[in-house]
């Protein structure tokens, strides 16, 4: 069985070991060592990365009590050979920030009546699922502030082993599922939890803890958060992006949000005005299009690309089919289209679109003498096909 060095010294980022066996893990070359500082994925904490004998370690997994270091390529060392290994220390440190930060956040959420159900650590954003119902934004703010305060107070974090008999007296937040010897992680005076992960020695190096958003997942609330380096990178990126916008708007960073809200409202108002003005022009537009109908014996057809929104296109087509024996097919360059046929032509439009437009990739629906849809890419072919179909059916 591999000796797990990170249990006793989580700051051990370089070590020597002996190759115990080589094999494969899920199709990739893997190696087992007599001892390791690599943390295998577990308890929500991601696996460590690094190198063994110069070969990149892309994953580390526990299977049947064995620790497999998954490698980018086979190791140039045989069973029994000594190897030198090095962890990606920055990644491990960030994992320790996330993990200790999560214990702290979970403890503060519990004080407010929200127990942690499960946790997951991502690259930048991590999550914890809470039971206990919905969370107000005031409460989230309060928890976030309190967690940061406790981080900045640099409270010691201790790890100790306990037997099963000692457990009840410890008042654990998270009770273990395995039987035997228990590894307890304690934030002094605040939280005790059974955990096999790697943590910091105090809350200070967690750095900033930022709650990012909340999502309802089944009956639980999922909290997205970032700690330390992850929080720093996300906040730096956000501030940079906001500053860029502020510069463009020649405003201060914190004036951007109200200014953008104003712009959105303004643009919605303008859109409504433009749309109402364009609607007033539709009868004139309809009159102009009169000359563009192709009249064959029995009916007139207009197939035309139109610059405007679907609703407007629909109204225009309605105006144009007010005269008898007409078919109007309009499309916008977004691929949306409308088709109207005068009722007295008694055309089955379901069959018409199925035979002419659908084979060209268009989609759509409607009822009676009206159809509309999208996905039209080749308007000239579509228009020709519709016209030919009508001529054929109407005996022209």
| Chain residues in the site for Zn ion (CB under 5 A) | 99, 195, 197
Nearest distance, CB of residue 43 and Zn ion, angstroms: 6
Contact 143, 108 (CB under 8 A): yes
Nearest distance, CB of residue 195 and Zn ion, angstroms: 3
Nearest distance, CB of residue 218 and Zn ion, angstroms: 24
3-state secondary structure of 54: coil
The dihedral sign for the CA sequence 337, 328, 342, 284: positive
Residue 34 or 125 with smaller CB distance to Zn ion = 125
Nearest distance, CB of residue 131 and Zn ion, angstroms: 19
Residue 193 or 336 with smaller CB distance to Zn ion = 193
Nearest distance, CB of residue 157 and Zn ion, angstroms: 10
The set of residues, in sequence order, having a beta carbon less than 8 Å from that of 44 and lying 6+ positions away, is 102, 118, 119, 120, 121, 197
8-state DSSP, 335: S
Contact 96, 32 (CB under 8 A): no
End-to-end alpha carbon distance in the chain: 88
Residue 107 or 302 with smaller CB distance to Zn ion = 107
Contact 317, 309 (CB under 8 A): no
Nearest distance, CB of residue 134 and Zn ion, angstroms: 26
Contact 190, 164 (CB under 8 A): no
Residue 198 or 342 with smaller CB distance to Zn ion = 198
127 exposed, middle or buried (CB, 10 Å; 0-12, 13-18, 19+)? buried
Distances (CA, A) of 35 to 32, 84, 95, 199, 225: 9, 11, 21, 20, 33
Nearest distance, CB of residue 119 and Zn ion, angstroms: 8
Residue 91 or 314 with smaller CB distance to Zn ion = 91
Nearest distance, CB of residue 121 and Zn ion, angstroms: 10
Residue 77 or 209 with smaller CB distance to Zn ion = 209
Phi, psi of 155 (to 5 degrees): -75, 135
Nearest distance, CB of residue 135 and Zn ion, angstroms: 22
Nearest distance, CB of residue 244 and Zn ion, angstroms: 38
Contact 377, 335 (CB under 8 A): yes
Query: What b-and-e string marks burial along 178-215, b requiring 16 or more CB atoms within 10 Å of the CB?
Result: eeeebebbbbeebbbbbbbbbbbebbbbbbbbbbbebe
Residue 46 or 308 with smaller CB distance to Zn ion = 46
Residue 195 or 353 with smaller CB distance to Zn ion = 195
The set of residues, in sequence order, having a beta carbon less than 8 Å from that of 320 and lying 6+ positions away, is 286, 289, 302, 326, 328, 340
3-state secondary structure of 370: strand
DSSP H or E run through 314? helix 310-320
Closest CA to 42 of 65, 21, 20: 65
The token pair that represents 395 in the structure block? 């005996």
> Which single residue brings its beta carbon nearest to Zn ion?
195
Phi, psi of 361 (to 5 degrees): 95, 0
Nearest distance, CB of residue 120 and Zn ion, angstroms: 13
Residue 99 or 192 with smaller CB distance to Zn ion = 99
Residue 29 or 197 with smaller CB distance to Zn ion = 197
Residue 99 or 210 with smaller CB distance to Zn ion = 99
């Amino acid at each position: 069985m591999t000796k797990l060095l990170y249990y006793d010294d989580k700051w051990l980022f370089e070590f020597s070991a002996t190759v115990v066996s080589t094999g494969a893990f899920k199709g990739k070359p893997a190696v087992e060592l007599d001892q390791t500082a690599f943390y295998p994925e577990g308890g929500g904490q991601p696996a460590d990365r690094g190198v063994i004998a110069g070969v990149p370690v892309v994953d580390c997994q526990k299977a049947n009590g064995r620790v497999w270091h998954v490698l980018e390529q086979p190791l140039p060392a045989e069973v029994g050979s000594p190897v030198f290994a090095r962890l990606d220390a920055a990644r491990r440190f960030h994992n320790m920030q996330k993990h200790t930060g999560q214990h702290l956040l979970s403890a503060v959420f519990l004080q407010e009546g929200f127990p942690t159900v499960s946790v997951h650590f991502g690259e930048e954003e991590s999550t914890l699922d809470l039971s206990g119902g919905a969370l107000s934004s005031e409460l989230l703010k309060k928890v976030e502030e309190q967690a940061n305060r406790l981080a900045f107070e640099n409270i010691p974090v201790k790890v100790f082993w306990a037997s099963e008999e000692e457990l009840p007296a410890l008042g654990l937040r998270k009770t273990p599922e395995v039987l035997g010897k228990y590894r307890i992680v304690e934030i002094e005076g605040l939280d005790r939890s059974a955990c096999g992960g790697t943590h910091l020695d105090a809350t200070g190096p967690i750095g900033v803890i930022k709650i990012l958003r909340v999502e309802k997942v089944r009956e639980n609330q999922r909290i997205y958060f970032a700690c330390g380096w992850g929080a720093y990178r996300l906040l730096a990126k956000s501030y940079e992006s906001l500053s860029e916008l502020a510069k463009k708007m020649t405003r201060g960073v914190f004036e951007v949000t109200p200014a953008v809200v104003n712009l959105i409202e303004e643009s919605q108002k303008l859109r409504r005005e433009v749309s109402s003005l364009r609607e007033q022009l539709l009868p004139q537009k309809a009159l102009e299009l009169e000359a563009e109908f192709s009249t064959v014996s029995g009916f007139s057809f207009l197939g035309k690309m139109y610059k405007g929104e679907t609703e407007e296109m629909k109204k225009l087509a309605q105006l144009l089919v007010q005269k008898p024996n007409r078919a109007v097919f309009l499309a916008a360059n977004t691929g949306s289209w409308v088709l109207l046929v005068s009722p007295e032509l008694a055309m089955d439009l379901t069959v018409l679109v199925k035979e002419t437009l659908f084979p060209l990739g268009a989609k759509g629906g409607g009822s009676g003498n009206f159809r509309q849809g999208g996905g039209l890419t080749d308007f000239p072919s579509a228009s020709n096909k519709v016209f030919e179909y009508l001529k054929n059916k109407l005996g022209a």
